[in-house]
Structure 1
Amino acid sequence: MKKVAAAFLAISLLATTPVFAAEQESDPIQQEEGMIEQGENQELTVDEIMAQKGMKSALESFYDKFPQAKTYEISGTIIKNEGTSRLKLFIISETESFILDFDQERITNYTQINKIPDVELEGPMIQGILNKIYSLLPEAKDLKRDSSFTQIDNGGKKTYILSFSEDKGLEQSEISSKGLMIHFDETGKIITFDFDSMPLINLKGETKEEKAYELLKQFYGDEAKEYKIKRVNEISENDPNYKDHKDFMRGTIVFTHTSSKEKPILVGFNSEDELTMLQVTTQDFLKE
């Protein structure tokens, strides 16, 4: 399965046009992996982490709020990018993890990540979402669930992420295969729907734009009537990245809501004009 991060990279390529600049929201695990892979970064030992000015006091305050995390493994990386640096902490156990930003002697932001309990996975909200997905992607029923977790930011906002792929064995683990990732909020509203090597069915329409709007109707019901196509963006065939991304993200159809308070929605398509993903993005995506 292609990594979800690759889809976000392809979207960012579309932002190189003078029409707009893109700034994507993605799940924190994918974001941090991407950031750490870039530039010259420095991994810290536990002693080096604790030697940072203000660290002991900051962690004590954090552990007061999450006392169970005192026993978790801690690691840290100084992320250097374009002349700036910041410290990212990872506090991890088998069932729960935290990603923390440390700056100016304090923890400025954190995300709590938990595995979804089996009883919740079998509950009506998640099963209802999966049934809707399976009606559009019947082949997804045969996929194996790779991961399922919730993420809660320090503002209390909770979202869910499920990912699935083919169970092809270790010897074929590097081979691109069918895959699916679903990201949704506490109400069941889809934030990201990303899939690979499977055709969508049961979508009315002849053009990619018509089918994209039908996909919005499937996920958002009557609310889809409030969305209109703002523009269609494509990676130019002359772009050096075109060859690597055309099979799953040659372009995006940008939908905007009649209310400026609502975030835009992107629907991706490949070189065959087949839909490949849907994602709620930020208003910054529309800025020039």
Structure 2
Amino acid sequence: MKKVATAFLAISLLATTPVFAAEQESNPIQQEEGMIEQGENQELTVDEIMAQQGMKSALESFYDKFPQTKTYEISGSKIKKIENDKEKNVIQLFLESDEKKSFVLEFDIETEKITEYTQAVSNIPKSELPGKVQASLDKVYSLSPEVKDLKLYDSVMYFSTIKGEEELKKYRFSFNESGKMAEGKTTDKELSITFDETGKTLHFDFEKLPLVNLEGNTKEEKAQDLLKRLYGEEANEYKIKKVNELPKDDPNYKDHKDFIRGTIVFMPISSEKNPILVGFNIKNELTMSQETTRDFLEDFGLL
């Protein structure tokens, strides 16, 4: 049960952390490629970063590819993580400008190379959205009558390049009542959703906006209806594998009951597709949905 509680904490962090941070090591769970961070980050000064063996050469090669980043402010931290069952030491670099663009780089201490990087562009104009992303965004408005009253306060396009392979672009949108990013706790109704460039929903967080239009009498039936609305006919390729719930005597129950008291695991028929997790709160209202990996589910006892 401890693993399940830890998994709920990880899912909560993924759902509430801004997308760029969520893709990086500020989050203790990095699902992509089954990588899990171990221990705390060690923040580095600029001098410590540049003193790392091989760093200057690696950055020069990166600057040759992206000349504009030479003027970006740089910060970073040293972390340990597990990749393919092996411990790995890396330095994560954050390159930020006053403009809309930013980068996160991963420097492999052993190979002295930048092995992957993620670039992000904020405040994406609606006119620049791919048609499939716009169509998927329009579907969201049908999930709750209150969604139409929310205002967009943040939008980000980001994509990663890992070992030379460029991944699909992803688009994240955040809405609330005020249309402004709130600091600290707020009573604003809010939702955030992430699509890839094909329009597929990767993550959907609607903790403060219960979806009342879903069909079904049970949380499981409503979760199935949610998948149908988000994925269309593709939802028929997913079946409920397991429902996980935190017991009331669990020390994490109080902190999680209002957001993710439990999860419904949907497994795809095809091994080429990823599982989907749907979270629910103490009222059995659905609060989030996200695509995940089999490794994550197995590591945290959710299967």
| TM-score, reference length from structure 1 | 0.83
Letter in 2 for 1:90: F
Residue 60 of structure 1: SS of its match in structure 2? helix
Matched residue of 1:141: which SS?
A: helix
Q: Which residue of 2 aligns with 1:212?
A: 223
Q: Does 1:102 align with 2:94?
A: no
What corresponds to 2:27 in structure 1? 34
Distance (Å, rounded) in 2 between the aligned partners of 1:205 and 1:185: 28
Instruction: State the aligned residue count.
Output: 272
Distance 1:50 1:148, change over 3 A: same
The answer to whether the Cα contact below 8 Å between 1:195 and 1:276 also exists between their aligned partners in 2 is: yes
- Partners of 1:66 and 1:172 in 2: CA distance: 33
Match of 2:256 among 240, 245, 250: 245
Counterpart of 2:189, as a letter, is K
Which residue matches 1:88? Answer: 92
| Distance in 2 of aligned mates of 1:190 and 1:170 | 23
Instruction: Say if 1:10 and 1:249, in contact at 8 Å, map to a contact too.
Output: no
Within a 5 Å distance, the mapping from 1:105-116 to structure 2 comes to 105-116=112-123
Contact (CA 8 Å) 1:11, 1:252: kept in 2 or not?
A: no
2:166 equivalent in structure 1: 156
Name the structure 2 match of 1:268.
279
Question: What corresponds to 2:200 in structure 1?
Answer: 189
Q: Which has the higher contact order (CA 8 A, sep 6+)?
A: 1
Q: 2:56 matched to which residue of 1?
A: 56
Q: What is the match of residue 70 of structure 1?
A: 70
Mapping for residues 115-264 of structure 1, pairs under 5 Å = 115-120=122-127, 124-154=131-161, 155-157=165-167, 158-167=169-178, 174-264=185-275
Distance 2:51 2:183 in 1: 44
Contact kept in structure 1, 2:8 and 2:260, CA below 8 Å: no
Per-residue CA shift, 1:1-57, capped at 9, x if unaligned?
xxxxxxxx9671489xxxxxxxx8984412433359x95544323222211110111
Cα separation, 1, equivalents of 2:223 and 2:278 = 6
83-92 or 96-105, larger mean C-alpha shift: 83-92
- Give the Cα–Cα distance (whole angstroms) in 2 for the partners of residues 183 and 85 of structure 1: 29
Alpha-carbon shift at residue 107 of structure 1 (Å): 1.1
Please tell me the root mean square deviation across aligned C-alpha atoms, in Å.
Answer: 3.1
1:72 Cα deviation from its structure 2 partner: 1.0
Q: Return the offset for 1:170.
A: 9.2
Code of the aligned partner of 2:268: H
| Percent of residue pairs identical | 56
Against the structure 1 CA distance between its residues 254 and 35, is the aligned structure 2 distance closer, same or farther, given a 3 Å change threshold? closer
1:155-186 residue CA offsets vs partner (Å, 9 max, x unmatched): 31111111122329899853343111101111
Gaps of 5+ in 1: 1-8, 16-23
Structure 1: which amino acid aligns with 2:21?
I
Q: Deviations over 1:194-248 (max 9, x none)?
A: 1122221332111111111011111111111111110111112111110111111
Q: Is the 8 A contact 1:11 1:251 kept in 2?
A: no
1:282 aligns with 2:287: no
Does the 8 A contact of 2:63 with 2:69 survive in 1? yes
CA contact (8 A) 2:151 2:177 kept: yes
Whether the 8 Å CA contact 1:46–1:74 is kept in 2: the answer is yes
CA pair 173-238 structure 1, distance change in 2 beyond 3 A: closer
Q: Give the TM-score, by structure 2 length.
A: 0.79
Q: Could you tell me how far apart the structure 2 residues matched to 1:270 and 1:136 are?
A: 18
Instruction: Give the distance between the partners of 2:260 and 2:231, measured in 1 at CA.
Output: 23
Cα pair 2:44 2:78 within 8 Å, conserved: yes
Quote the offset at 1:71 in angstroms. 1.4
CA distance in 1: counterparts of 2:277 and 2:77, whole angstroms: 32
